[in-house]
Amino acid sequence: MSILVVGSVAFDTVTTPFGEGREVIGGSATHFSMAASFWAPVRLVAVVGDDFTEEHRRPLAERGVDLGGLVTARGRTFRWVGAYDYDLNNPRTLDTQLNVFAAFKPEIPEAWRDTPLLFLANIDPDLQGEVLDQVKGARLIAADTMNYWIDSKPKALKALLRRVRLLLINDGEIRQLTGEPNLVRASALVRSWGPSTIVVKRGEHGVLVFDGAAAFALPAYPLEDVLDPTGAGDAFAGGFLGYLAARGLDSDLDVRRAAVVGSVMASYQVEAFSFDRVRRLTWPEIRDRYQKFIHLTHVEPLP
Amino acid sequence: MSILVVGSVAFDTVTTPFGEGREVIGGSATHFSMAASFWAPVRLVAVVGDDFTEEHRRPLAERGVDLGGLVTARGRTFRWVGAYDYDLNNPRTLDTQLNVFAAFKPEIPEAWRDTPLLFLANIDPDLQGEVLDQVKGARLIAADTMNYWIDSKPKALKALLRRVRLLLINDGEIRQLTGEPNLVRASALVRSWGPSTIVVKRGEHGVLVFDGAAAFALPAYPLEDVLDPTGAGDAFAGGFLGYLAARGLDSDLDVRRAAVVGSVMASYQVEAFSFDRVRRLTWPEIRDRYQKFIHLTHVEPLP
């Protein structure tokens, strides 16, 4: 089952305590697609400038990502410059140049309007709504957002959430969105607005999934070497939705295994700059880390 | 199998966004003992002032905690005044009055010097060492510490760690102790100093246990109502070591079940001020939440 993702493709310049990635390929749709491509066919809708060459497309194309919706506009590609301190949780944004992304109006190719699984990566909620209007055939709609839109367009965001089944969001963002510091209460509130499944991403602390009345908590994989956390949330979403697409949408969503798969992809994402580790992943490596998650979290009943 | 704990007994005045506990019974040894008492016989060594009455002793005595090492000195009991903001992670300390605790020299009753399991709660590492010198019969030695001692007595603390099998410590504290932001590396470093098992307490994010080469990660129980986080780490330690004592020390330490039991006790601890929730716990409630932890964290293999 195919996934359609609409989001950003960018050039990132990232400094961490362990090195620098200069003008590496970034963007939410990019990292999502790369991770999801191991699990399901991916269709990518985004805009780049004429500085985004064949060479830049190649890693995604090699992973089978369909770039038929990647539009090239005149001008420069979106740029982000950020830096992480030792705690590696939140980057400081040093510079953002929207460039061609400023005028982005997502146009979904006619043949893609019945894609069953739609992921609205973090862009303007008004644009996310316009995408939804076009993809009439979507059966599962998932969305991400960020503090910028919660601040500047709370009404548009809430209107969008009424149409979304599955929300992926950071812990800080869901607290901001709801004004509720307790994550259990905050998630219940957001569920009352529309999405029946909330995935709260907590960075190095893992994820909390609220799926109807059930809760599932998964720690992040404890890594010795984290090189660059950029794109971890997007790789998580790619693995999470990629797994759901691979399983099909005819029975209950298997959000537990999906969350482990997402965490596996995210744990590899942070081991290198850009998608350099994820793009080279093998199936034995993916399965091995999935098994390690089982061991990491396994609890026996009381004797 | 009995546990001997040496630490503080105090009166706490705590303000949280949900209320105030004024001059409630606090202290590391108190909360530890209350939680551990469900699992094993507990012997408590601490000092209080003459304002700590029979009525204050009653809750611990009713739970069967042996108060034969609770010395009453002339003067006032240790006082702590703190406040939590909405994030409930770290309290602001508004006032600390050591009072009789300033001159505390732990004297272990003769009959207790062969207690098999010894918990050195968070006190001056020099005093922790003096306790160790007295409890010659201890077979399992566990310790806690805090940022204040890491700052002021790093040498004494490192000397103590050489003699400790099991260290319980906060994530921020182990980073400070080692100068290493990565928890996997920080724990490996501390293990090279002595303790073979490190339990990293991460507050609302749960615990990470490094036991030899194995890692175990457990999220905290997602609660809708957290009233007061004070003593959560001590109740965790009480459940963790209480369970180990109940199982006996003749085989490998079952640190996974112990960590779940600790998390169960901590999750109840934060539902009320002081030990008001824990002291009223029933076995069905304890077993029920243990089962909920299994469900919360359960991961199936890939199909």
Q: How confident is the model at residue A12 (pLDDT cuts 50, 70, 90)?
A: very high
In chain B, whose CA is at the least distance from the CA of A180? B86
The pLDDT value given to residue A34? 98
Give Cβ neighbours of residue A294 (< 8 Å, ≥ 6 apart): A260, B299, B301
Q: Per-residue pLDDT averaged across A256-264, rounded?
A: 98
Is B301's CB within 8 Å of A293's CB?
A: no
Q: Which residues of B touch A202 (CB under 8 A)?
A: 205
Compute the distance between CA of residue A26 and CA of residue A32 in angstroms, rounded to an integer: 10
Q: Find residue B118's DSSP bridge partners.
A: B4, B141
End-to-end CA distance of chain B: 43
Compute the distance between CA of residue B67 and CA of residue B42 in angstroms, rounded to an integer: 9
In chain B, whose CA is at the least distance from the CA of A292? B215
Helix (H), strand (E) at residue B208 = strand B207-211
Q: Which residues of B touch A225 (CB under 8 A)?
A: 182
Q: Per-residue pLDDT averaged across B40-45, rounded?
A: 98
Q: How many residues does chain B have?
A: 303
The pLDDT value given to residue A213? 85
DSSP secondary structure string, A153-213?
A: -HHHHHHHHTT-SEEEEEHHHHHHHHT---HHHHHHHHHHHS-SEEEEE-GGG-EEEEETT
How far, CA to CA in Å, does B113 sit from each of A1, B66, B72? 67, 14, 20
Is B223's CB within 8 Å of A184's CB?
A: yes
The pLDDT value given to residue A63? 98
Is A184's CB within 8 Å of B224's CB?
A: yes
**Quick check: B116 and B137 in contact, CB under 8 A?**
yes
Q: How confident is the model at residue B163 (pLDDT cuts 50, 70, 90)?
A: very high
Helix (H), strand (E) at residue B83 = strand B78-83
Q: Which residues of A touch B181 (CB under 8 A)?
A: 17, 86-88
The pLDDT value given to residue B118? 98
Q: Per-residue pLDDT averaged across B266-293, rounded?
A: 98
Answer whether residue B251 shows pLDDT above 90.
no
Averaged pLDDT score across all residues of chain B: 96
Look up tokens 């993916």; give the residue: A286
Q: Per-residue pLDDT averaged across A48-69, rounded?
A: 98
Own/partner contacts of B150-158, CB < 8 Å, gap of 24 or more, are B150/B176, B150/B177, B151/B176, B153/B124, B153/B125, B153/B126, B156/B124, B156/B125, B156/B126, B156/B129, B157/B125, B158/B193
| Optimal mutation site among A205, A247, A271, interface B, most CBs of chain B within 10 A | A205
pTM metric for this prediction: 0.95
Looking at chain B, the whole-number percentage of residues with pLDDT higher than 90 is 94
Q: How confident is the model at residue A159 (pLDDT cuts 50, 70, 90)?
A: very high
Q: Find residue B139's DSSP bridge partners.
A: none
Q: Which of B184, B206, B208 sits opposite A224 (nearest CB)?
A: B184
Q: How confident is the model at residue A70 (pLDDT cuts 50, 70, 90)?
A: very high
Query: Tokens at residue B134, please?
Result: 């007295």
Query: Tokens at residue B217, please?
Result: 């990660």
Q: Going along chain A, which residue ranges are E strands?
A: 3-6, 10-16, 19-26, 42-48, 66-72, 79-83, 92-97, 117-120, 140-144, 166-170, 197-201, 207-211, 214-218
The pLDDT value given to residue B89? 76
The pLDDT value given to residue B88? 80
Give Cβ neighbours of residue A55 (< 8 Å, ≥ 6 apart): none
Looking at chain A, the whole-number percentage of residues with pLDDT higher than 70 is 100
Backbone dihedral region for residue B121 (phi beyond 0: left; psi -120 to 50: alpha; all else: beta): beta
The pLDDT value given to residue B213? 85
The pLDDT value given to residue A88? 80
Averaged pLDDT score across all residues of chain A: 96
Q: Per-residue pLDDT averaged across A22-32, rounded?
A: 98
**Quick check: B277 and B231 in contact, CB under 8 A?**
no
**Quick check: A228 and A14 in contact, CB under 8 A?**
yes
Answer whether residue A250 shows pLDDT above 90.
no
Exposed/middle/buried for residue B123 (C-beta within 10 Å: 0-12, 13-18, 19+): buried
Query: Tokens at residue A127, please?
Result: 């644009």
The pLDDT value given to residue B233? 96
Q: Which of A219, A222, A225 sits opposite B219 (nearest CB)?
A: A219
Buried b (16+ CB within 10 A) or exposed e, A204-214: bbbbbbbbeee
User: What is the amino acid identity at position A191?
Assistant: R
Answer whether residue B176 shows pLDDT above 80.
yes
Compute the distance between CA of residue A17 and CA of residue A15 in angstroms, rounded to an integer: 7
pLDDT per residue as tens digits for the range A188-247: 999 999 999 999 999 999 999 999 889 999 999 999 999 999 999 999 999 999 999 999
Query: HSE (CB half, 13 Å, CA atoms) of B223?
Result: 23
Answer whether residue B87 shows pLDDT above 80.
no
Task: Give the number of beta-carbon pairs within 8 Å between A and B.
Answer: 105
Query: HSE (CB half, 13 Å, CA atoms) of B197?
Result: 22
Q: How far is B150 from chain A (nearest CA, A)?
A: 19
User: Would you say the ipTM is above 0.95?
Assistant: no
Answer whether residue A28 shows pLDDT above 80.
yes
